[in-house]
Structures are given as C-alpha cells and as structure tokens.
Structure 1
Amino acid sequence: MTNVIVYEHPLSPYAQKVKISLREKGVPFETRLPEGIGTGATAGGFAKANPRGEVPALIHGDVEIFDSTIILEYIEDVWPDPAMLPKSPADRARVRMIEDVMDTQFEAITWGLGELNFFRRAEGAKKEEMEAKARTQAEAFFKVLEGYLGDREWFNGASFGWGDLSVVPYLNGAAGFDIRPAESSRLGAWAKRANARESVALARRESEASIGGMNQVDQAVKAGLFKRQYRDHRLEWMMKTGGTEIVLKGLEAGNIRFTGP
C-alpha cells in the first residue's frame, strides 16, 4: 500500500501535472476524489490538506501539500531521479515561466470552455461568440509556445520534463473542444511526441473517461449543489471574453465562489 495520496479530479490539468511527474519518476501513488468536490464545502483529509478547496493536494505520510507547483517542487526534492527540471538556472527559470503562463492565462481559456459546454453558462449566439474568442486566444498562445519551444525536441530541452508536463494537459484540454495546433507545426509535432509517453497518455485517458460524469453537472449548478470556483485569472477571462452577465447571474444565484475562507 502506497503512502502517497493525490486528491484530484481527472479533468484538472493541475492534477494531471502532478500525476505525470510521479509516473515519470516511477513513484506509486493512490488517487482520491475529494469529498464534496465542487460544492465549496469539502471535508475530510482533502479539506485539511488544502484549505483553498482546490485540487490537487498531495499527502505523503504526515506531509500535506497543496498547489500543483509546490507539489511538483516537493516531488523533485524527494524523488530527484529522473530530474524533471533542467540543469541550468536559466533553463529552470524558462520552464517555470512556461508553467506560469499555462497555469494562469491558458488554463482560463480551457476552464471557460468548460463553463460554456459542461456547465452551460451561455447558449446560442453568446456561447458561439465566446467560443470564437476562446479559439482566437488559444491560437495566439500556440504561437507563444512555438517561440518557447524553438528548435528543441522538448520544452525542457533534450528530454521530457517540467516544461512539457506543464503544457500537455492544457493542450489536450483544448483539443477536447477541437482547438489544437496544426499537425504540421513544431508545436503539433511536439504534442504528438508528448502524448506518446505512457505517463501523458494515461492522464489523458483518465481525463477523457471522466467526461461522461459531466453530463448532468449543469443541473447541479442550477440547483445550487455546485459552486464553481472563479479564481482571479478565470474571472478576468470571463470579463474580457464577454461573460460579465454570466458572472453577475452566478453571484445572484450563489453558484459561483471565490478562493478563501
């Protein structure tokens, strides 16, 4: 029995980063779905480990850690081989910047598409308008990522690592909404290589398998059973992409929440 527990939801790119890193390092772990996930009132070991109520959280013996980046740093410290971070300080800083871009700016796009398609926050012309803007935004980031990738085989450099596992869950999430880089592009070729790795392929399969459970989540939101978390970058995305009315309606209905006690 493993003493590493990852509280997660398979659709979460933040959780996927952690699982990919652990699997690349051959560290056995158990996954758990947090009690009361999505309600804004979680309980049990997850709530103790992460007072923000966000996945993932990692439990390693008596160590409890939240925030995917801090978890990745802990994993790197405890299980250093194979290394996920590059050797040089400059390259380490570069992949950490890539991670930050994906965790905030790009994550907001795929999360927003989930709000539109799974939670049905908008329909008809408004939904189409926001989806079109999301596609334009994602494609702009594809160009940014091409610049970060350059002529490297991997974002990390010569081998798969931190920079790559920080990008691939988000691109796979966008692909689920039929937004993907051109196959002929350097980024498209990289995505194919990344998805051929078993650690990535397994996280992707787990994510895809969980989508079936999202069929009725819009009804749960309308019934007030789910309170979707609007972190700062997500709120920004909604406001700049035409979702001001969505935010105001969610506040009125009490089915959106913000981070913190």
Structure 2
Amino acid sequence: MNDRLRLFSYWRSSAAYRVRIGLNLKGLPYDIASVHLLRDGGDQHTPAFRAANPQGLVPVLEHGQRNLRQSMAILEYLDEVWPSPPLLPATARDRQRVRGLAQLIACDVHPLNNLRVLQYFEREWHVPQPERDEWVRHWIGDGLAAFESMLADHPSTGEFCDGHAPTLADICLVPQVYNARRFNIDLGKYPTIQRIEAACLALPAFDAARPEMQPDAPQPT
C-alpha cells in the first residue's frame, strides 16, 4: 500500500500522541491535519470533521480512501499492515500482558480525564476548576500506581514495559505520563515508570511525537 497517510491530530491529545509514536516507530511518513479542540468551540464539532469521525474525536488516520478511527485499533492496523518493527511481542502470553497494560491506560485511565468529560463537568454541572483538577489527579494517580505495581519486579519488564523494545504498552504510557505532569502529579512514587519513560523519550520516534514538537503546538512567547 503506497497511499499517503494523513493524521487528524491535536498537539495535546493523548490518543493522537499514541498514533504519532506508532507511525514514527514504523518509519512511516505522514501529514498532520490539525483539529483544534478548543478554538471556536472545537473543530471536532464541525460537519466536515464529523463526516470523517461521527464521534467527533481525534485521532483519525486517513489511508487512501479509508478513515481509520480509535487509536488502539489504528495502532494494531499499523502493526498488521507494516509488521516491522512489531508493536506486540511474539508470544500470546506476552501479547496479552502488553495489551493489558495498554488498555489499563487507554480504557480505564484516559477516558476519565478526557477533554470532553472535563468540559461536561464544567458546562453541565458547573464543577469548579480545582475540583476538576483533583478528579484528574485521582484517576491518573490510581492508574499509574497499578501500572507501576504491574511493572516492578515482573520478569518480563526490561528496558521498556515488556523486554528491550517499545511496545503498545509504552506507546500508551508515555502520553499518560505527559498528562500526569500537566496536572502536577508527583511521579516520584513510580520509579519504574519514570525509568521506562526516559528510555522511550531517548528514542527519536518518541521524541518527535512529543506535543511541543507538533506543528499546531503554541509557540513559546
């Protein structure tokens, strides 16, 4: 398949961040189409974007005539179409572990601090900012504590979450740690996570995917 890839992304979206890492690890060239989630009520609500994704969420990966949705499904699609380097381990047991770690973040932690959830709290229930921030810190901290315990002293944990090459678990972990820092969560309680994050960010594929490296990121003043 030689169709050019185009990623509908927002610089600070965790889910889009995951897909950027995956594309970079695969060495796949792609274009960025910025979807600003805050300006003028959010580009994700426009009819043009809703045609690409009726959920009004990023990311969407355009591959030829197809619009691919949901970051985890996109990443597994990339792994099936471009299998090298793999994002999942070779054995069923290790693949299950990696998927479990990845889904802990993508299914249990991230949805609770997603932008649309926080906007609903503000718009419909008028929850003040300090309480919204505490909600985020609670659920990220709860998830990272579980993630840390699943990594620490586990025989499959290596330089990365599973062995000595990044997998789907690392792809999900790094954006969530970025969010933890945004909300001033003390990461000192998670030494294994910190070590693995540093190993990931030392790789060009992770470094280039950082939010601040994106073309739609605000420029320093």
Normalised by the length of structure 2, the TM-score is: 0.79
Identify if the C-alpha distance between structure 1 residues 66 and 205 changes in structure 2 by more than 3 Å, giving closer, same or farther: closer
Question: How much is the aligned-residue C-alpha RMSD, in angstroms?
Answer: 3.2
**Equivalent residues of 2:98, 2:162 under 8 A apart:** yes
Identify if the C-alpha distance between structure 1 residues 9 and 130 changes in structure 2 by more than 3 Å, giving closer, same or farther: closer
Query: Which of the numbers 138, 141, 144 marks the counterpart of 2:140?
Result: 138
Q: Could you give the per-residue CA deviations for residues 115-161 of structure 1, whole angstroms, max 9, x where no partner exists?
A: 48xx9939xx9433443343333222222111222341211322111
Q: Which moved more, 1:21-30 or 1:176-185?
A: 176-185
Instruction: Determine the structure 2 residue equivalent to 1:19.
Output: 20
TM-superposed CA distance for 1:43, in Å, is 3.5
Identify if the C-alpha distance between structure 1 residues 55 and 132 changes in structure 2 by more than 3 Å, giving closer, same or farther: closer
Identify if the C-alpha distance between structure 1 residues 112 and 64 changes in structure 2 by more than 3 Å, giving closer, same or farther: closer
Instruction: Determine the structure 2 residue equivalent to 1:170.
Output: 176
**Counterpart-to-counterpart distance in 2, 1:139 and 1:174:** 8
TM-superposed CA distance for 1:75, in Å, is 0.5
**Counterpart-to-counterpart distance in 2, 1:14 and 1:193:** 20
Instruction: Determine the structure 1 residue equivalent to 2:46.
Output: 42
Normalised by the length of structure 1, the TM-score is: 0.68
Q: Which moved more, 1:155-164 or 1:3-12?
A: 155-164
Instruction: Determine the structure 1 residue equivalent to 2:192.
Output: 186
Query: Which of the numbers 73, 79, 84 marks the counterpart of 1:70?
Result: 73
Instruction: Determine the structure 2 residue equivalent to 1:107.
Output: 110
**Equivalent residues of 1:113, 1:131 under 8 A apart:** no
Which structure is larger by alpha-carbon Rg, 1 or 2?
1
The aligned amino acid for 2:110 is E
Correspondences of 1:89-104 after superposition (within 5 Å): 89-104=92-107
How many percent identity over aligned positions? 25
Q: Could you give the per-residue CA deviations for residues 55-88 of structure 1, whole angstroms, max 9, x where no partner exists?
A: 1111111222111111111101111101111111
Q: What residue ranges of structure 2 are gaps of 5+ in the alignment? A: none
Q: Could you give the per-residue CA deviations for residues 193-250 of structure 1, whole angstroms, max 9, x where no partner exists?
A: 222222222222437885649xxxxxxxxxxxxxxxxxxxxxxxxxxxxxxxxxxxxx
**Counterpart-to-counterpart distance in 1, 2:190 and 2:72:** 31
Instruction: Determine the structure 1 residue equivalent to 2:7.
Output: 6
**Equivalent residues of 1:4, 1:59 under 8 A apart:** yes
Secondary structure of the residue aligned to 2:187 is coil
Identify if the C-alpha distance between structure 1 residues 174 and 112 changes in structure 2 by more than 3 Å, giving closer, same or farther: farther
Q: What residue ranges of structure 1 are gaps of 5+ in the alignment? A: 214-261
Instruction: Determine the structure 2 residue equivalent to 1:86.
Output: 89
Instruction: Determine the structure 2 residue equivalent to 1:128.
Output: 130
The aligned amino acid for 1:28 is P
